[in-house]
Amino acid sequence: MNIDFRFIVTAFFEIMKALPLTLVITTVPLLIGFAIGIGTALIRLYKVKVIYKIADFYVSFLRGTPLILHIYIVYLGLPLLFDVLAEKWGWSIRSNSIPLIVFVFVAFSLNAGAYMSEIIRSGILAVNKGEIEAAYSIGMTTSQAMKRIVLPQALMISLPNLCNMFVGLLHGSSLAFSISLMELNGKANVVASTNWKFLESFIAAAVIYWGMTILAEKVTAILEKRLRMFIKGGVA
Partner 1 sequence: MGKSFDLNLVFDFLPKLLSYLHITLLILVGAVLIGLLVGFLAALPRIYNIPVLRTLSAIYVSFIRGTPILIQLFLVYYGLPELLKTIQIDVTHMSSLVFVIITYGFSIGALFSEIIRAAVSAVDRGQTEAAYAIGMTPIAAFVRIVLPQALTIAFPNFANLVISYLKDTSLAFYIGVMDMTGRGQTLGTATNHFLEVYISLAIIYYAVCILLEKCFSLLETRMLRYERQFPVSQ
Q: 191 vs 37, 39, 131, 180, 207, CA distance in Å?
A: 37, 41, 55, 14, 15
Please report, as residue ranges, which positions from 72 to 111 form the binding site for partner 1 (by CB under 8 A).
72-73, 76-77, 80
Exactly one of 10, 122, 161, 174 binds partner 1 (CB under 8 A); which one?
174
Q: Are 121 and 155 in contact (CB under 8 A)?
A: no
Which helix (H) or strand (E) covers residue 105, if one does? helix 100-126
In sequence order, the 6+-apart residues with CB closer than 8 A to the CB of 190 are 182
Q: Are 69 and 152 in contact (CB under 8 A)?
A: no
Q: Applying CB under 8 A, which part among 5-13, 27-35, 57-65, 120-128 lies near partner 1? A: 57-65
Exactly one of 206, 219, 221, 227 binds partner 1 (CB under 8 A); which one?
206
Q: What is the DSSP letter of 94?
A: -
Count interface residues toward partner 1 (CB under 8 A).
37
Min CB(234)–partner 1 separation in Å: 24
Q: What is the crossing angle of helices 51-63 and 19-45, to 10°?
A: 140
Task: Reduce the DSSP state of residue 22 to 3 states and report it.
Answer: helix
How far is the C-alpha of 99 from the C-alpha of 102, rounded, in Å? 6
- Select 64 or 234, whichever has its Cβ closest to partner 1: 64
- Under the binding rule (CB under 8 A), the answer on residue 69 touching partner 1 is yes
- Under the binding rule (CB under 8 A), the answer on residue 213 touching partner 1 is yes
Binding mask 181-200 for partner 1 (x = CB under 8 A): ----x--x---------xx-
Q: Applying CB under 8 A, which part among 43-51, 61-69, 99-107, 147-155 lies near partner 1? A: 61-69
Catalog residues that contact partner 1 under the rule CB under 8 A.
Answer: 1-3, 60-61, 63-69, 72-73, 76-77, 80, 167, 170-172, 174-175, 185, 188, 198-199, 202-203, 205-206, 209-214
